[in-house]
Structure 1
């Protein structure tokens, strides 16, 4: 994985894997994010999908999330394939967990990308950046019960169940990965 220094307008570095490019999410990604958040299957375990009635409110929310300063080195990365960089696959986030002090990793990808390893590959790059460059410890996640796809990604990344946390207005299963476990993993 390669890390490129962020431009003066970006708060996040560009990350690169064998197949993917990750860059700070920007206004040019809003249409793709709206499409992602309009898919009922993608949003099944997150929140109600965007509808015509909620479209304007959700656009305002997305703009706020894109423009928000989450702190040094934290935020949202858009994920695109190297071969077709105009194709938005999804995003990975590294932000403070809602209502908690821990830093959370999360991901959301278009349904037509599921099962191809993109979420795991992109999240690995962000975890590596978080542990190596930011020296975060630990990095955590919350995953709604029944979300087997996200749970499988979390397990592949090495996140382990560690009780429950109140976040996003509900109690959710909580997962944790320690920096030492990441840095000493095989191939790490």
Structure 2
């Protein structure tokens, strides 16, 4: 099993065992404002798809845990989007974990792992208008706006970082 470690965080593949933690993460209105609030059934479907992506593509989304306590604080990692033919990194954290640099730390680790282990020319970050904290994380990581698009009926800006960066 792939495990990515940083100074403070442990990223490991999300599994069906994470259903309660992932569902609870998305129930907080501060968190789900830009990423939605899946039902329990949708959470299980997403986790099943994440496990399948790990099996078939060798990468996927990860649970992010504090190394010091093992506490689940969010999710990050890489997701392949069939409709775009691109791999995206993302970060969603419990509101109580905001402001500690965890999203930047996890995002940096996911991007570094992606470029080290996958044949990718670039990695994207899809961010909805108004999500200023995520834009700031993307910019700290070296991402720049690439294009505008639509995902699940919502406008998004697709940021990207090239392998050479």
Larger Rg: 1
What TM-score, normalized by structure 2, do the two folds share?
0.91
List gaps (5 residues or longer) in structure 1.
1-5, 7-12, 182-188
| SS at 2:116 equivalent | helix
Tell me the residue number matched to 2:58: 73
- CA distance in structure 2 between the partners assigned to 1:38 and 1:98 by the alignment: 27
Structure 2 counterparts to residues 28-47 of structure 1, below 5 A: 28-47=17-36
Q: Contact 1:98–1:168 (CA<8 Å) still a contact in 2?
A: no
Tell me the residue number matched to 1:10: none
2:83 is matched with which residue: 99, 115, 134? 99
- Pairs aligned (count): 164
Task: Provide the alpha-carbon RMSD of the alignment.
Answer: 1.7
Q: Contact 1:164–1:171 (CA<8 Å) still a contact in 2?
A: yes
- CA distance in structure 2 between the partners assigned to 1:56 and 1:129 by the alignment: 30
Name the structure where strand makes up a greater proportion of residues. Answer: 2
* Stretches (4+) displaced over 2 A: 55-73, 165-171
List gaps (5 residues or longer) in structure 2.
none
Give the superposition deviation at 1:98: 5.2
What TM-score, normalized by structure 1, do the two folds share?
0.80
